[in-house]
C-alpha cells in the first residue's frame, strides 16, 4: 500500500480549500499545485474530470529528512491528490510517507516517515 484516501463532501474547489487548510493545521504548506486536467487538455487535448496533485511539505520535518539523507529530496514532497470521481464525489488521496521513506532503509528516516504519516492521517480526519 502506498497511499490512503477519503471521500470528502463539497465541490472540487471547496475540497481543495479544505485540504490546504487542514494541511496548515499539521504544519504543512503547499509547494506545488499540478492541475492534471488542464495540463492534459493543453498538451494532448484530452478531457478528464478534475484531478489536482498538491505537493505538501512540512519544513521542519523535511529539514530533518534532508539532514538524515541528502538524496531524500527524490522522494519529497508528500503528494496529496484531489480528484473528482465518475459519480461526482471528491476523493482526497495521500501518499504514504512511511511506505515511501521506508525505501531509504534507515531507521531515522523510517521514524520520520511514521511521524509524517501520523500528521497526514490527522489531516485526513479533519476532512470528514
pLDDT of residue 102: 87
How confident is the prediction for the chain on average, in pLDDT?
Answer: 96
Q: What is the pLDDT of residues 58-116, one digit of tens each?
A: 999 999 999 999 999 999 999 999 999 999 999 999 999 999 988 898 999 999 999 99
Spatial separation of the C-alpha atoms in residues 79 and 97, rounded to whole Å: 9
pLDDT of residue 89: 98
Mean pLDDT of the region 10-24: 98
What CATH number was assigned to the domain covering residues 3-126?
Answer: 3.30.310.70
Residue 21 has pLDDT above 90, yes or no: yes
Residue 19 has pLDDT above 90, yes or no: yes
Domain spans in the chain, listed from the N-terminal domain onward: 3-126
Residue 35 has pLDDT above 90, yes or no: yes
Query: pLDDT above 90 covers what percent of the chain?
Result: 95
DSSP H stretches of helix in the chain: 12-25, 36-44, 59-68, 97-101, 107-126
The CA dihedral of 55, 57, 63, 66, to the nearest 10 degrees, is -30
Strand order in the sheet with 51-57: 3-8, 90-95, 78-84, 51-57, 29-35
Residue 1 has pLDDT above 90, yes or no: no
pLDDT of residue 105: 87
Amino acid at each position: 500500500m502506498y497511499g490512503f484516501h477519503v471521500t470528502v463532501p463539497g465541490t472540487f474547489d471547496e475540497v481543495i480549500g479544505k485540504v490546504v487548510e487542514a494541511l496548515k493545521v499539521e504544519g504543512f504548506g503547499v509547494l506545488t499545485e499540478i492541475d492534471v486536467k488542464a495540463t492534459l487538455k493543453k498538451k494532448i487535448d484530452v478531457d478528464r474530470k478534475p484531478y489536482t496533485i498538491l505537493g505538501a511539505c512540512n519544513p521542519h520535518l523535511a529539514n530533518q529528512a534532508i539532514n538524515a539523507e541528502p538524496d531524500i529530496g527524490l522522494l519529497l514532497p508528500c503528494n496529496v491528490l484531489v480528484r473528482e470521481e465518475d459519480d461526482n464525489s471528491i476523493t482526497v488521496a495521500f501518499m504514504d510517507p512511511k511506505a515511501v521513506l521506508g525505501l531509504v532503509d534507515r531507521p531515522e528516516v523510517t521514524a520520520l516517515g511514521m511521524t509524517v504519516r501520523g500528521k497526514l492521517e490527522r489531516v485526513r480526519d479533519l476532512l470528514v
